[in-house]
């Protein structure tokens, strides 16, 4: 039967499909069918219920005149009746002759009931099909239309059955604590807290409200969702997993309805775990919300959390403590929320009685990375026995669990590629041994080999673990292509600068090693002498002397993370944004501990405050001092090391130079003759890059009076300028590249262009600064 024309062209086919899925739906009311279609199909979600119900009624009426539809419904009902054992054979034979007419009469009666019900309601009074209506009833119908426009539409009453509640599917996780690398103490403490949520008798008897759940927060990839799944699998509890975006709807009031429906579904499956991922999407701060809908969603979520344990239920259980919990009406639902932005959550959500317990999952340290890699490598059947786990642990600072899993996948991919290359080479040698156009076909052999192999059945040699062994070289190759999440999302990284890249400054290196590396390499001895935390280090000296390189080399030598912050980049024109940037830097350092924070040009970030200074600069200084005070004496804060560099120590705020903050001052001054020689050897790689001619003597060059007052940056600029002059000469003379090198004449010409960046007046000022640093030590 061709579909009739109506406002929604697909409504007829969709209604037919919906009713034929379950013939019991034929007996539903028109309002219930319309609401089910709105929830099922996205194109109807923005339709108003009353006009849409009229369209459904029109399509429903056409379906009743379709003999094919009636026959299909009759056959399905007949099949259900055949499977039922409640009817006897005699009754079935007696009704067999009248069944088609009975089904037609039943469908007609259902439609008549629907139209009669719609005619009695004020909403559908205009669409009632009353064949017995008199002409004088027209005036009464017109007068009844006015008040119907003022009546607010209500949501249709849902059936209390569990099938009517739509929400996330109930899952039973197969992941257990064996798949989650954490310490035994952490697992034990977590299980203890879960037990008191599921067995709250002691809380009730003492007149206290039982705990509801906890909040997981940390950087992406640390295993927040994995922990929730491991809890469900370890305790063998059903799990309702949903994301916050699934609860947000564009229709007013629908988001709150979905939240209520989700908590009702959790209560029906009690005991269970309700896991809400990315909970910050529906629980942002209400004072900063731009729409009223966002505030209503947060309020509804708080109300559902508070309504998980009703006051009347608690009072009944307190008056009758002999009633077992299994026979009590109390629900046992563990509510777990996860976020990577805990500061953006509404404070009411984190108060006691809701998410009163928070579990911070930070970036794993060396011990935790070893535990994670051990757990992941245990499942590898083709791992080389000569695999060095400790080396891989030391080379993966800042890696979270997801990064380590990606690293293993990349190493496996490298091993499989190596096996493929060997197979392709074997195929080439056998197929193109006597082919003259072998070189032309060499680029196409891999494609041809893959096209041939994907259609061949797998052999035991291909599926065996011995065919592809994952070696340590595969992991080294994978480390070059896998980037840690902390480096992608922020500015935490491990620098590649070593002490071999820095010439001279041996005394400064020893002081920095004792200040920073002592607590990392000798923690037991460090604690024995009563050191609480490493002192902050301030590097003072002229620009271009290697202060930034020293900080990077220290971080690389210790193998810890490094955050380099240029002073002005944290400043923002908007109120409060600069202070937030300072807090974010220290929070990232705590998450990536052990970590070094290096503030370059700190004089721009922390200038001297005055009595009349009440602007944003004073607030930034106060925020920086608060973060450096070590108020949070946690393990993460103790493993954060602060370094700073400046060439204007006289304009720094005195509060930042006191003991407990940047209390160790190291002067990095101009290099002497021996220092310039070490720097020149480091820059030129002992005369090999750029290649130096035999007439160039680095010893004489470092003792030259023209080099007096040169910094390390000036010497690097001198060598670069001489290399450019030498390259220009070789290009103009058309000499072979093998003879290209830097002569003394090129250096003499470069001396005339590159002058010392520190003038004589500045040298005297920096000398006074060096004396003041010595007095402060």
Residue 156 pLDDT > 70, yes or no?
no
Q: pLDDT at position 110, please?
A: 54
Q: Which of 137-151, 329-343, 399-413, 572-586 has the highest mean pLDDT?
A: 399-413
Residue 736 pLDDT > 70, yes or no?
yes
Question: 10 Å Cβ neighbour count for 529?
Answer: 8
181 and 307, same domain (yes or no) = yes
3-42 pLDDT tens trace: 444 556 678 888 888 888 887 788 788 888 888 888 888 7
CATH number assigned to the domain comprising residue 752: 1.10.8.60
198 and 336, same domain (yes or no) = yes
Give a yes or no: residue 463 inside a domain: no
How far is residue 479's CA from residue 666's CA, in Å, rounded to a whole number? 35
480 and 537, same domain (yes or no) = no
Give a yes or no: residue 89 inside a domain: no
Rounded to the nearest 10 degrees, how much is the dihedral formed by the CA atoms of 364, 367, 372, 375? -170
Residue 159 pLDDT > 50, yes or no?
no
Give a yes or no: residue 159 inside a domain: no
175 and 257, same domain (yes or no) = yes
How far is residue 417's CA from residue 421's CA, in Å, rounded to a whole number? 6
606-641 pLDDT tens trace: 888 887 766 777 888 888 888 888 644 555 556 788
Give a yes or no: residue 29 inside a domain: yes
Nearest-Å Rg of the Cα atoms of the chain is: 38
Quick one: average pLDDT of 99-109? 50
How far is residue 555's CA from residue 40's CA, in Å, rounded to a whole number? 57
- Between 114 and 464, where is the model more confident? 464
Last-in-domain residue among 26, 44, 77 = 77
Quick one: average pLDDT of 327-350? 82
342 and 381, same domain (yes or no) = no
Domain range holding 640? 499-667
Give a yes or no: residue 132 inside a domain: no
54 and 175, same domain (yes or no) = no
Give a yes or no: residue 88 inside a domain: no
CB 396 within 8 A of CB 480: no
Rounded to the nearest 10 degrees, how much is the dihedral formed by the CA atoms of 345, 347, 348, 350? 80
Last-in-domain residue among 615, 646, 667 = 667
Q: pLDDT at position 379, please?
A: 84
Query: Residue 99, SS3?
Result: helix
Q: pLDDT at position 131, please?
A: 39
660 and 707, same domain (yes or no) = no
Give a yes or no: residue 408 inside a domain: yes
Give a yes or no: residue 279 inside a domain: yes
Q: How far is CA 218 from CA 199, 213, 363, 400, 627, in A?
A: 28, 17, 8, 11, 20
546 and 682, same domain (yes or no) = no
Q: Which two tokens stand for residue 570?
A: 């944290």
The mean-pLDDT minimum among 220-224, 270-274, 611-615 falls in 611-615
What is the residue-averaged pLDDT of the chain?
Answer: 77
658 and 725, same domain (yes or no) = no
341 and 370, same domain (yes or no) = no
Residue 407 pLDDT > 60, yes or no?
yes
pTM of the complete model: 0.60
34 and 174, same domain (yes or no) = no
pLDDT classification of 605: cutoffs 50, 70, 90:
confident
CATH number assigned to the domain comprising residue 508: 3.40.50.300
58 and 197, same domain (yes or no) = no
State the total domains in the chain: 5
């Amino acid at each position: 039967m061709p579909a009739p024309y109506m406002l929604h062209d697909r409504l007829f086919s969709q209604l037919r499909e919906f009713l034929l899925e379950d013939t019991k739906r034929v007996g539903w009311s028109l309002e219930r069918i319309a609401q089910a279609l709105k929830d099922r199909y996205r194109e109807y979600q923005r339709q108003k219920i009353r006009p849409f119900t009229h369209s459904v009624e029109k399509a429903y009426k056409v379906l009743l005149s379709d003999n094919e539809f009636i026959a299909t419904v009759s056959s399905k009902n007949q099949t259900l009746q055949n499977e039922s054992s409640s009817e006897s054979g005699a009754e079935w034979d007696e009704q067999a002759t009248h069944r088609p007419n009975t089904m037609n009469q039943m469908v007609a009666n259902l439609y008549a009931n629907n139209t009669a019900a719609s005619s009695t309601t004020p909403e559908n009074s205009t669409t009632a099909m009353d064949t017995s209506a008199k002409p004088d009833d027209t005036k009464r119908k017109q007068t009844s239309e006015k008040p119907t426009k003022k009546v607010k539409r209500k949501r249709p009453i849902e059936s209390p059955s569990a099938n009517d509640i739509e929400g996330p599917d109930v899952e039973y996780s197969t992941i257990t604590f064996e798949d989650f690398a954490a310490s035994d103490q952490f697992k034990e403490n977590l299980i203890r807290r879960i037990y008191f949520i599921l067995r709250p008798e002691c809380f009730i008897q003492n007149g206290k409200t039982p705990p509801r759940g906890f909040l997981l927060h940390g950087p992406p990839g640390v295993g927040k969702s994995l922990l929730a799944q491991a809890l469900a699998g370890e305790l063998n509890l059903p799990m309702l997993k949903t994301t916050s975006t699934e609860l947000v709807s564009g229709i007013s009031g629908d988001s709150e309805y979905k939240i209520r429906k989700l908590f009702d579904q959790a209560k029906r499956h009690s005991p269970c775990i309700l896991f809400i991922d990315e909970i910050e999407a529906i629980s942002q701060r209400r004072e900063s919300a731009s729409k009223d809908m966002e505030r209503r969603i947060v309020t509804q979520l708080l109300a559902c959390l508070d309504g998980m344990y009703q006051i009347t239920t608690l009072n009944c259980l307190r008056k009758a403590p002999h009633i077992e919990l299994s026979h009590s009406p109390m629900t046992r639902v563990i509510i777990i929320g996860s976020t990577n932005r805990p500061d953006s959550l509404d404070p009411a959500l984190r108060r006691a009685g809701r998410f009163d317990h928070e579990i911070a999952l930070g970036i794993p340290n060396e011990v935790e990375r070893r535990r994670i890699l051990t757990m992941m490598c245990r499942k590898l059947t083709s791992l080389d026995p000569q695999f060095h786990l400790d080396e891989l642990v030391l080379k993966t600072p800042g890696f979270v669990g997801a990064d380590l899993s990606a690293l293993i996948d990349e190493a496996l991919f490298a091993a499989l590629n190596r096996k493929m290359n060997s197979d392709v080479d074997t195929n080439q040698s056998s197929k193109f041994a006597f082919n003259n156009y072998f070189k032309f076909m060499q680029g196409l052999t891999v494609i041809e080999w893959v096209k041939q192999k994907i259609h061949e059945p797998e052999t035991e040699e291909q599926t065996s673990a011995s065919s592809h062994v994952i070696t340590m070289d595969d992991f080294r190759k994978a480390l070059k292509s896998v980037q840690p999440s902390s480096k992608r999302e922020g500015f935490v990284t491990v620098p590649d600068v070593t002490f071999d890249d820095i010439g001279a400054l041996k005394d400064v290196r020893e002081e920095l090693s004792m200040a920073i590396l002592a607590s990392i390499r000798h923690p037991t001895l460090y604690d024995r002498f009563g050191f609480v935390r490493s002192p902050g280090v301030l590097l003072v000296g002229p620009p271009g002397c290697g202060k930034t390189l020293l900080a990077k080399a220290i971080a690389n030598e210790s193998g810890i993370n490094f955050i380099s912050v240029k002073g002005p980049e944290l400043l923002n024109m908007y109120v409060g944004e600069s202070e937030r940037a300072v807090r974010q830097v220290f929070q990232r350092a705590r998450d990536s501990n052990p970590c070094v924070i290096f503030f370059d040009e700190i004089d721009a970030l922390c200038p001297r405050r005055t009595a009349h200074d009440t602007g944003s600069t004073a607030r930034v200084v106060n925020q920086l001092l608060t973060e450096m005070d070590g108020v949070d004496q946690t393990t993460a804060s103790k493993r954060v090391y602060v370094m700073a560099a400046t060439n204007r120590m006289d304009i720094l705020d005195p509060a930042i130079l006191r003991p407990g903050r940047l209390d160790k001052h190291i002067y990095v001054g101009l290099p002497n003759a021996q220092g310039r020689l070490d720097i020149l050897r480091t820059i030129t790689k002992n005369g090999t890059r750029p290649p130096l001619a035999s007439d160039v003597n680095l010893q004489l060059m470092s003792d030259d009076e023209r080099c007096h007052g040169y910094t390390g940056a000036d010497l690097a600029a001198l060598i670069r300028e001489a290399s450019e002059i030498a390259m220009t000469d070789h290009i103009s003379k058309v000499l072979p590249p093998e003879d290209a090198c830097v002569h003394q004449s090129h250096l003499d010409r470069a001396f005339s262009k590159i002058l010392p960046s520190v003038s004589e007046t500045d040298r005297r000022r920096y000398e006074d600064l060096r004396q003041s640093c010595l007095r402060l030590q």
